[in-house]
Structure 1
């Protein structure tokens, strides 16, 4: 019933296209949800949506590229594909090493061959042309593994590089055959991959860090600095391996989510016996048994037994939740006490946990504003430094008549310092750490742009029912509009039955309250019909009146059930009725009216309960200087009463969806950056218009996960202040990393030009800067503990 605020909140899934500026980067960087199956178990599971057509009739292929760690590889791929016929678009997720390609090709063979030409060895994850998904077991989890042989080669390279330095220092000859031999051994065992990548970059005219490093090493060898060439290539290769291992900590946050759901489930077979099967093979409506201490394998509804479940992995709730028949359970949560049986309501690929993982992975692909700035800066930074190095090597000898060798060496040091990996890698590591920390805390953030920009919120609009309140109102009053009628009781029972019959067709909380009240208090005069044991009457021509109520025909006569505003719109609100409604509404109750086409018949009043967490959340927001207000379709008296309870003075009632949208427009003009909190379809326009939309009731609800930018998995409004604090921390860490990366570069640039920095010192500086910003970004993993 749409009688008050939200009409059929969970009946449909609207498009959620933001008009605000924060969405601008999506075309290049969103990792849209096409083909990311997270099914565990030995056999890959095909996902139904893989066969869907992409925009513009294109197909889509998703690749896992184990060698894609840095924007260096991203730029190489973009340069290679930008002129390739049939390529529509690309999205990169460097943290998960995923490349998504939209194309008009007959097969993905051309894409695969092009990636192999870049020495990237792709593995196909999904392809909409064939409607398939999956990877071999060793690639399915995206684990980064450094082979033992690689470590052995690095050990040989290190010993050879140090040996060349020792020999050269001992005999004072840096070009002896022994020194050159040891240096070549170090270069071939530790730096062959770097030289190969540098050659590929040169062929593709891409000035990346591998090209710069290769140029520096070859240049050092040409001018006779063989020991330094060996040490530089060894340190660079070692730095890349350490950096890759450090980045894997961020990946582990997502892999930890994936590992929460067990691989096997205990299912009741057709014979009645309980058998253990692979979770990916469990079918819908199967009966699953969970013992104490086990994790719940799939989403479902409890059928038998009572227990307490730790839902922290999904909702972030600190206290276990009691579950009994009829309650919902989520995959990945932990059964703490009793055994219970439940009916599966979602397959593994569509469970709440899987949808959380998909959302977090998609969010990793969306660049935050700072990351977009850094990426654009890097495009001009590398060519500028290369040009500077050329000028340093050429101009002083020509203009000043000085020796060529010292300036060439300074130019090579400058090239090593120019490697921008520390600057570029710092932002995605920081963002994904923040996203993972939020997910573990029960906050699902849809992208880095929202994570970083949440700090700018100055005003927050909140829906009432289901947001500030629990959303489960109960009927408190029933009044006839004309109580002087002599057959009052009979009419009252008859009208209650009409109201219950109309409300039965809606899933709004107020409708549920009317239905519960009817079933609990059905009198003798409400005789069951042949087709409804609850005593309800069939309703035909049922229709929802958005923001007002519902209507339908009962026994051929048209009846309406709606809010105070509906009665006014029907022009049947008398002074007496107005007085009755206001007397109830000033008590903070929501009123709904049963009407015929020409007259009001029955008044029902319901009251909701404010969430225990709402008062504290509003107090925290007020302490942060954020203006909070209520936007509700309920009557103004109820809005004001709830506002007074939670500490909000600006409470606006009788708002249709377009009224809420207009209110958000007004807030954006007045406050600049605005958030909106809601829990359903009726709030979707306002959620979409706000700079950041927050969804309540996200656990187990597709709509909330799809429409909002941030989802509160356990309906706790206190997580919004947590989100804003996390956003501020994320922005601070991003700024720290930029200052660290550029500051270290600037210091060594001065040292290089003054002749105080050597090649191996430059590599140490680059390696140190990279590790420093990575570990600084990883601090956010503990930001919400």
Structure 2
């Protein structure tokens, strides 16, 4: 049953992708041609090259040029007809595309005997089309990856007390489950007995595990730590928090709609105008310009070739590919040209906190020992702390071991007691490391420091000797080293910045103050992240989202541009439109600069190519241009546009 649902979803997903992919890229056509059209294209290209080695103006040479035109342009001609029909039906008005115009231009060139020109027009356009399709890419694997993370089995406690493994889909509300250390929690529920710590990063993105005991809520897909507990199922597997994440990603992907590129907006109007003007031009030639019908048809074909948008078609694809290549060399991977071009227009950026604006793991930020402790005694305590934490296996222990260096190696037997933390005895003295609430007798100076650290959003542990608190260690997931620089750049561009975090608002605001972010939204669950993005879109306009976890997936696909951190989860990377490798935030500001350059270059190319068309058409009407001049000017303008686009390969100033 589960497989059927997945297959059905994948079919719907693919259909949705097919529908919206017409809105991507310079031409607005992103079809999966398979190998045959590509083979035909290169076969046609080979025929075009071989034609130049044949006797000039011979029948054999003309056959090779015509063959090149038909083979290289087969998919262009077919898509021109098929897509025009489909678009016309969908929009309920005549909606031709540039493929139609290119096909007619090549046909017109052949009618007046310019087979070489017709083949060249088709080959240039077809090559650009294939390059664009390659740059855009096709499918994403996010649903498959998410489904792999969805729990499939649970340890069900029967009425007789025996435990058996069952499928999660068979669980009912009220069932009792056993969860062993290291298990994946099968579904949402409440702890009935036992205590543990649970890694909830797949749900809330927090890097520090949550301590859980009787009465606390647990969530499906999270990972149990070292403890064992029993729980009661409180939600059907289809209603769990993780299932909601799946559902949101499905819906967001299916309804995804990117802003059309500039050329795609111009294309139907341009093509329709030319299709209307060419026959009018031919019919009016004898009347207005006193041409005979042969001259009028010749001028009409020159008009069609002059107006054919080779330069226009090349205005964005090479420039976009150059920009994508530029960024790829610097560790920024875009999944399509439209995502890069749309990045220039963002008005707001939302960031996940953990692993995006921060390092993603706690670090020791402050240490305090009571004033009566001298330096030698402090080092003795540090040696003890290091020795005790070496026996633990959790993020806080790793942070402490990275933050301290022991001078003396101690051999200890350490116990990890729920509710107390780490305890040991050494040379007749007892030692303890734990949360503040684990201790009763706390000096006022320790309490004062604890309050200050808590206001700064830091996690604190105490160290005690013989039940007397002697010191404390404050830890925090510290800001990414580049976060402040990137936030400052975005502000300089009048782009609003927001931090979205599952952490407490106090913790988020502490980080926000350090990096200068505009807005902090804390205590956010995954299903609310996507809604926050929608609210930002309504308030500011186009919004980009940066994140790294499964919990960020709904927001990443809801945003106009979703950007994943390269060290994040596979799911976040798969659903995003772009990936910043090595978690280098400065690459995001660099990508924004490249996107702005791309926008300028594309518009330069569009304006230049249209001016050339106007000039050629005018000269044709005045009788100052023949087919040879038209070809040279037409292809020359295409080369200029191509080289202007290739400038984007040159690095921008970082």
- Classify the TM-score, shorter chain: 0.5 to 0.7
Partner Cα separation in structure 2 for residue 193 and residue 388 of structure 1: 28
Q: Which residue in 2 is equivalent to 1:706?
A: 574
Offset from partner CA, 1:562-616 (integer Å, 9 cap, x none): 999xx9xxxxxxxx999885332234523589xxxxxxxx997423433332232
The answer to whether the 8 Å contact 1:475/1:517 transfers is yes
The answer on 1:412 being equivalent to 2:301 is yes
SS of match in other structure, 1:612: coil
Give the Cα–Cα distance (whole angstroms) in 1 for the partners of residues 609 and 453 of structure 2. 63
Residue 667 (1) aligns with residue 536 (2):
yes
Task: Measure, in 2, the Cα distance between the counterparts of 1:405 and 1:757.
Answer: 16
SS in 1 for 2:344: helix
> Cα–Cα, structure 1 residues 664 and 646, in superposed 2: closer, same or farther, change >3 Å?
same
Question: Which of these residues, 34, 51, 63, is aligned with residue 188 of structure 1?
Answer: 63
CA distance in 2: counterparts of 1:408 and 1:198, whole angstroms? 24
Specify the SS of the correspondent of 2:482. helix
The offset of 1:722, in angstroms, is 0.7
1:445-464 alignment, distance < 5 Å: 445-464=334-353
Q: How does 1:245-644 map to 2 (within 5 A)?
A: 369=259, 371=261, 374-375=263-264, 377-379=266-268, 381-382=270-271, 384-397=273-286, 403-474=292-363, 513=399, 527=413, 535-536=415-416, 582-591=451-460, 605-644=474-513
Q: Distance in 2 between matches of 1:450 and 1:737?
A: 19
- Per-residue deviation, 1:627: 2.9
* Cα distance, 1:369–1:760 mapped onto 2, change above 3 Å: farther
Q: Which of residues 618, 630, 633 is equivalent to 1:762?
A: 630
Q: 1:764 to 1:674 in 2, by over 3 A?
A: same
- Following TM superposition, by how much is the alpha carbon of 1:655 offset from its aligned partner in structure 2, in angstroms? 4.2
CA–CA separation in structure 1 for the residues paired with 2:532 and 2:461: 24
Aligned to 2:108: 215
Mapped to 1, the partners of 2:543 and 2:79 lie a distance apart of 45
Q: In the alignment, is the contact (CA less than 8 A) between 1:93 and 1:99 conserved in 2?
A: no
1:731 corresponds in structure 2 to: 599
Kindly indicate whether the alpha-carbon contact (under 8 Å) linking 2:311 and 2:637 is maintained by their aligned counterparts in 1.
Answer: yes
Pair 652,763 (structure 1): closer, same or farther in 2 beyond 3 Å: same
Does the 8 A contact of 1:53 with 1:59 survive in 2? no
2:611 is equivalent to residue 743 of structure 1? yes
User: Does the CA-based 8 Å contact 2:552-2:572 persist in structure 1?
Assistant: no
Counterpart Cα distance in 2 of 1:382 and 1:57: 33
1:714-725 aligned at under 5 Å gives the runs 714-725=582-593
* Residue 387 of structure 1, CA deviation: 3.6
Instruction: Quickly say closer, same or farther: Cα 1:635–1:148, change in 2 above 3 A.
Output: closer
Q: Residues 737, 587 of structure 1: CA spacing in aligned structure 2 closer, same or farther, 3 A cutoff?
A: same
Distance 2:558 2:447 in 1: 34
Which residue of 2 is the match for residue 691 of structure 1?
560
> CA offset at residue 518 of structure 1?
12
Contact 2:44 2:72 in 1 (8 A): no
Q: Deviations over 1:511-569 (max 9, x none)?
A: 854798999999999846xxxxxx55799xxxxxxxxxxxxxxxxxxxxxx999xx9xx
Deviations 1:261-290 (A, max 9, x none): xxxxxxxxxxxxxxxxxxxxxxxxxxxxxx
Asked if structure 2 preserves the Cα contact closer than 8 Å seen for 1:590 and 1:638, the reply is: no
2:115 to 233, 244, 247: 233
User: How far off its partner does 1:424 sit?
Assistant: 2.6
Distance 1:772 1:592, change over 3 A: farther
- Tell me the alpha carbon deviations over residues 595-651 of structure 1, each in whole angstroms, 9 at most, x when there is no partner: xxxxxxx99742343333223222222222223343334444544443333233644
Separation (CA, whole Å) in 1 of partners of 2:603 and 2:590: 20
Are the equivalent residues in 2 in contact too, given 1:393–1:407 (CA < 8 A)? Answer: yes
Q: Give the Cα separation in 1 of the matches to 2:78 and 2:129.
A: 29
Q: Is the 8 A contact 2:315 2:605 kept in 1?
A: yes
Residues 51 and 65, structure 2, Cα contact 8 Å, conserved in 1? yes
Aligned length: 471
The CA deviation at 1:93 is: 9.4
Does residue 775 of structure 1 match 2:653? no
How many Å apart are 1:731 and its aligned residue? 1.3
Corresponding residue for 2:239? none
2:360 aligns to what SS in structure 1? Answer: coil
Q: Distance in 1 between matches of 2:617 and 2:579?
A: 45
Q: Any unmatched runs of 5+ in structure 1?
A: 1-48, 61-77, 83-87, 102-110, 124-141, 162-181, 221-228, 256-365, 480-495, 529-534, 540-561, 568-575, 594-601
Provide the aligned C-alpha RMSD in A.
5.6
Instruction: Tell me which residue corresponds to 1:100.
Output: 32
1:437 and 1:783 in contact (8 A); partners too: yes
Residue 225 (structure 1) aligns with: none
> Partners of 1:254 and 1:393 in 2: how far apart?
39
Indicate if the aligned counterparts of 2:580 and 2:587 stay in contact, CA closer than 8 A.
yes
- Normalised to the residue count of structure 2, the TM-score between the two structures is 0.57
CA distance in 2, matches of 1:769, 1:583: 67
The secondary structure found in structure 2 opposite 1:436 is helix
CA 1:242–1:390 in structure 2 vs 1: closer, same or farther (change >3 Å)?
closer
- Map of 1:284 onto structure 2: none
Q: Identify if the C-alpha distance between structure 1 residues 646 and 577 changes in structure 2 by more than 3 Å, giving closer, same or farther.
A: same
Q: Which moved more, 1:449-458 or 1:584-593?
A: 584-593
1:677 to 532, 546, 560: 546
Query: Contact (CA 8 Å) 1:197, 1:211: kept in 2 or not?
Result: no
Structure 1 residue 153 and structure 2 residue 51: aligned?
A: yes
**Deviation digits for residues 736-763 of structure 1, max 9, x if unmatched?**
2222222211221222222222122222
**Cα deviations across residues 373-424 of structure 1 (Å, max 9, x unaligned)?**
5346444544542442222222443688763333222212112223233323
- Distance in 2 (CA, whole Å) between partners of 1:682 and 1:592 is 28
Deviation at 1:451, TM superposition (A): 0.8
| Matches of 2:289 and 2:78, distance apart in 1 | 35
- Verify the 8 A CA contact 1:369 1:452 in the aligned structure 2: no
Following TM superposition, by how much is the alpha carbon of 1:713 offset from its aligned partner in structure 2, in angstroms? 0.6
Q: Cα distance 1:473–1:58, how it changes in 2: closer, same or farther (>3 A)?
A: closer
The 8 Å contact of residues 466 and 679 in structure 1, kept in 2 or not, is answered as yes
Label 1:153 to 1:452 Cα distance change in 2 as closer, same or farther (>3 A): same
| Aligned residues of 2:45 and 2:68 also touching (Cα < 8 A) | no
Distance 1:236 1:442 in 2: 40
